[in-house]
Structure 1
Amino acid sequence: MTETMRTSRTESDRALKAKHRAMWALGDYPAVATEVIGELGTILVAACEVGPGDHVLDIAAGSGNAAIPAALTGADVVASDLTPELFADGRARAAARGADVEWMEADAEDLPFADARFDVVLSCVGIMFAPHHQDAADELVRVCRPGGRIGLISWTPEGFIGQMFATMKPFAPAPPPGAQPPPLWGNVDHVRGLLGERVTDVTARRQTVRVDRFATPEAWLEYFKAKYGPTIAVYRSLAAEPGRVADLDRALLTFAAGFAGDGGAMEWEYLLLTARRT
């Protein structure tokens, strides 16, 4: 690769990361993490058997959905994220619960930590949104000590969030070259391929989180249009095309209606994967 090509890639990656940071700062992701899927962080911490004295890294931690319950076990926890705008809410919630968490801005694809630094490395619907999956997986494995635990919760392609992204795709700007779809992290074969022989004792199971926050598909859509960064970003890209906005509204309402049960409750599927660093 020539120096010009390296510089071009670096510049394009920098621009892409800036776009991702801005997207997750839109709306109110901390509200989504606590009001809609708050239990997922505790589930992941329990699956990783986090306990007192563990050195834990939560990658793409957001406002600390997993980092805070990890710290409450007595672990020494670093919460890293590309979007530090999310940390203010996390710090406030951690303080309210008496959790001691270190917050650090960091790119999941280029973590500022030494090799084998952590006993447990986890990510709760976070690392899956890093655009270059292999780069992120390599960093995740690198910072975990030999024998350490790795834990991931990721939305599946077939589940609610995976299908939401599939529904929005025809309306969204084309992704940059090399960027991979986030829900691939919810495919166990894909994740096994990313981690390779660097891990052992892999366990993976599909589970669901019950979401009963929304009485109707319309209530869900208005909430996600106001609070969920990826949804907000797609609608903003269509701001000059009211017809397309209306089409997207209809597509998302039809999609959500297919998942809604009694009283509007939905089951959102995710992949829970744990492993040990070889």
Structure 2
Amino acid sequence: MTDTVDATTADRALKDRHRAMWALGDYPYVARDLIPELGRVLVAAAGVTRGERVLDVAAGTGNAAVPAALTGAEVVASDLTPELFDAGREAAARAGVELAWEEGDAEALPYADATFDVVLSCVGVMFAPHHQRAADELVRVCRPGGRIGLVSWTPEGFVGEMFRAMRPYAPPPPAGAQPPPLWGDEQHVRELLGDRVTDVVARRQTVTVGGWESPEAWRDSWKAVYGPTIAIYRGIADDPERTAALDRDLAALARRYDRGTGSTVLEWEYLLLTARRA
């Protein structure tokens, strides 16, 4: 009993840290100005249509939820970090749509079995630490014959490489936690979903982001807006040498991927995967 209580307490503390991490910086800027097309791509690939009941898991500011609502679907945006919802509501208001915004843990969704016609997650559920738990929840709340659609950063793409570059500067992950970019590996996701789904379609695509004067300018911006990066820098703030080393590593990564002429332009690879609940 004590072990169970300890595990529950540790899991709650981990989720509290995740919630606080994603509330740092300016994730609304990332979703709105850098990767807005990802939600539209996902909604189109999942074939969301008017009247369907749709859940956007780890929705953040509604990158997929708002485009889904624009189809006429009935949409719920669920996220562990409700601090992001105000920006999402503003985005929905600008688009002229209404949807529900509800706090929820991707590993323990507060919905009954087979509630939704379509379950989506756009670079969201991949950050739940326990991948199988999260995958089980995606399947559970999707009705038989319904669809699951996911966009996830790949391990080999820019964002996956960024997390790999930051890993030596971060605290060791909790027991059982898996790296987020694994969700960008098709075989990993197929194993998570198993024979509970059919008609799996997966392809790798890229989103182009830019507007920075240099790789160093991207790095300095990212240090101010992206929660996981902010958290890692805070953890080494009292170590100037490690901070300088991480500065160098991130700038070097951006320089390696830079496709711009006169400004920094980066291509971020992601896996787009859709499946049908068996």
What corresponds to 1:139 in structure 2? 137
* 1:40-51 mapped onto 2 (5 Å cutoff): 40-51=38-49
The 5 A counterparts of 1:19-30 are 19-30=17-28
Q: 1:189 is paired with a residue of what secondary structure?
A: helix
Aligned pairs for 1:21-100 (under 5 A) are 21-100=19-98
Is the partner of 2:62 in helix, strand or coil? coil
Shift of 1:115: 0.3
Whole-Å separation in 2 of the counterparts to 1:93 and 1:129: 23
Name the CA distance, whole Å, in 2 between partners of 1:250 and 1:266.
17
What is the rounded CA distance, in whole Å, between the counterparts of 1:101 and 1:220 in structure 2?
33
Q: Give 3-state SS (helix, strand or coil) of 1:258's partner.
A: helix
Using the TM superposition, give the Cα deviation of residue 211 of structure 1 relative to its aligned residue in structure 2, in angstroms: 1.0
CA offsets per residue over residues 122-160 of structure 1, 9 Å max, x none? 000000000000000000000000000100000000001
Q: Cα deviation per residue 1:32-79 (whole Å; 9 max; x = unaligned)?
A: 011111100000000001110010000000000000000011000000
Q: CA deviation at 1:214?
A: 2.2
Q: In the alignment, which residue of structure 2 is the partner of 1:269?
A: 269
Q: Decide whether the 8 Å contact of 1:215 with 1:265 is kept in 2.
A: no
TM-score (normalised: structure 2): 0.98
User: Structure 1 CA distance, aligned partners of 2:99 and 2:162?
Assistant: 32
| Residues 117-128 of structure 1 mapped to structure 2, 5 A cutoff | 117-128=115-126
SS of the equivalent of 1:157 reads coil
Query: Which letter maps to 1:104?
Result: E
Percent of aligned positions that are identical: 66
User: Please, which of 177, 198, 201 is the counterpart of residue 200 of structure 1?
Assistant: 198
Q: Which amino acid aligns with 2:271?
A: L
Distance 2:56 2:214 in 1: 33
3-state SS in 1 of match to 2:212: coil
Measured after TM superposition, the shift of residue 212 of structure 1 is: 2.0
- What CA distance in whole angstroms lies between the structure 1 residues aligned with 2:4 and 2:122? 32
2:248 aligned partner: 250
Counterpart contact for 1:36–1:213, Cα < 8 Å: no
SS in 2 for 1:175: coil
Classify the secondary structure of the residue corresponding to 2:63: coil
Amino acid at match of 1:269: E
Mapping of residues 167-178 of structure 1, within 5 Å? 167-178=165-176
Q: Greater CA deviation, 181-190 or 260-269? A: 260-269
Measured in 1, the distance between the counterparts of 2:9 and 2:36 equals 36
For residues 82 and 269 of structure 2, the distance between their equivalents in structure 1, rounded to whole angstroms, comes to: 28
Give the secondary-structure state (helix, strand or coil) at the position aligned to 2:274: strand
Q: Which residue of 1 aligns with 2:128?
A: 130
Tell me the equivalent position of 2:107.
109
> Where does 1:5-24 land on structure 2 (aligned, <5 Å)?
5-24=3-22
Once residues 8 and 169 of structure 2 are traced to their aligned partners in structure 1, the CA distance between those partners, rounded to angstroms, is 28
> Could you say which residue in structure 1 is the equivalent of 2:219?
221
CA deviations 1:149-182 (Å, max 9, x no partner) are 1000000000010000000001111111111000
* TM-score scaled by length of structure 1: 0.98
Distance 1:109 1:203 in 2: 24
1:223 Cα offset (Å)? 1.1
Q: Which amino acid aligns with 2:173?
A: P
State the distance in 2 between where 1:258 and 1:77 align. Answer: 39
Equivalent residues of 1:59, 1:126 under 8 A apart: yes
Cα distance in 1 for residues equivalent to 2:241 and 2:17: 25
Unaligned regions of 5+ residues in structure 2, if any?
A: none
CA distance in 2, matches of 1:18, 1:142: 24
Q: Which runs of 4+ in 1 moved over 4 A?
A: none
How far apart are the structure 2 equivalents of 1:149 and 1:85? 28
State the Cα distance separating 1:121 from its structure 2 match: 0.1
Whole-Å Cα distance in 2 between the matches of residues 47 and 219 of structure 1?
34
Provide the rounded CA distance (Å) in 2 between the counterparts of 1:257 and 1:103: 38
Report the 3-state secondary structure (helix = DSSP H, G, I; strand = E; otherwise coil) of the residue aligned with 2:144.
strand
User: Alpha-carbon deviation of 1:215?
Assistant: 3.2
